[in-house]
Amino acid sequence: MKYYTIAPPPMLAKYVRYYWVLEAGVAPGTEYIHRTMADGSAEMIFHYKGMFDELDVDSQDSYAPAQLHAQTRHFRRFIVGESFGIFGVYLYPFAIPAFFSMPSSVVSNHLPGLDDLLGASGKILEEKMMLAKDNRQRVALISDFLLQQLRKKSPHYTAMHAAVQGVIAIKGMVNVQRLASSYCLSPRQFERKFKELSGFSPKTYARIIRFQAALMEYDHKHKSLTDIAYECGYYDQSHFIHDFREFSGYHPKQYFSGAAEGVAYRDV
């Protein structure tokens, strides 16, 4: 299995966190199951080799070769029975209004196809990404496409964008009322504007980001769950376990053991 990330061009860095690639060989007669977790950022996904099916489907989303995995508070499971290659574009949630001209909250928890979001241009982008000779060419293709989207839509990076980015930067450890007052907005005004850009209320978004910070402790297996909970801003271990189960489907002990389903890429 191979997993790596690529920095975006500087002109995209306000909206694109990074590009990533995941490739793996799957032996004939075997299957690989991947689990996505709750995430405060969105992703554009291109399956250029192999195709996953979703397990435990309880939504009306259909899984396509090129999709937007919007910011979500749910975990989902996918299965593939062949070798695969995926190119991803990890976006700040406010990139959705910038690139797709809609509030982030419209697509929260969903996986719309890029052709549904972008029409013919989405289908053309999908075909180019699938036919690219390598991932270096995919980086160039998607960078050109996203820069064109920015030029067409000319989005403005505002103080509210910085607020969302700030919650990510401080790993969700924020007092929402204090944050709202720092922007001279009533809690209701702040929540409405924040949700348009992040996809969720500030309180829910902070919980998801705090959970994501806990996931990043995977490489520190020597730490106790109590230490991880404390460092990630949880009041107590039971609160930490509750959020972790809700957002991942795992007890944190199972996840940090390295034996959980769909986390093999983290050991690469």
The larger pLDDT score, comparing residue 257 to residue 23, is at 23
With cut-offs at 50, 70 and 90, classify the pLDDT of residue 62. low
* Cβ–Cβ under 8 Å, residues 43 and 5: no
With cut-offs at 50, 70 and 90, classify the pLDDT of residue 204. very high
With cut-offs at 50, 70 and 90, classify the pLDDT of residue 110. very high
For 90-130, give the secondary structure using H, E and C. Answer: EECCCHHHHHHCCCHHHCCCCCCEHHHHHCHHHHHHHHHHH
CATH 1.10.3470 fits 2-153, yes or no: no
For 170-188, write each residue's pLDDT tens digit.
999 988 888 888 887 888 8
pLDDT given for residue 38 in this prediction: 97
pLDDT given for residue 215 in this prediction: 92
* 159-169 and 187-198 helices, crossing angle to 10°: 80
Classify domain 159-267 at the CATH superfamily level.
Answer: Homeodomain-like (1.10.10.60)
Mean pLDDT value across residues 58-79: 86
Beta bridge partners of 90: 18, 43
Among 132, 105, 99, which residue's Cα sits nearest to residue 117? 99
Among 226, 206, 219, which residue's Cα sits nearest to residue 255? 219
Q: Count of alpha carbons within 13 Å of 210, Cβ hemisphere only?
A: 25
For 141-171, write each residue's pLDDT tens digit.
999 999 999 999 888 888 899 999 999 999 9
pLDDT given for residue 263 in this prediction: 76
pLDDT given for residue 175 in this prediction: 84
26 is written with which tokens? Answer: 């799957």
In angstroms, the CA 225 to CA 63 distance is 35
For 215-247, write each residue's pLDDT tens digit.
998 877 778 889 999 999 998 899 999 999 999
For the chain, the domains span: 2-153, 159-267
In angstroms, the CA 180 to CA 7 distance is 32
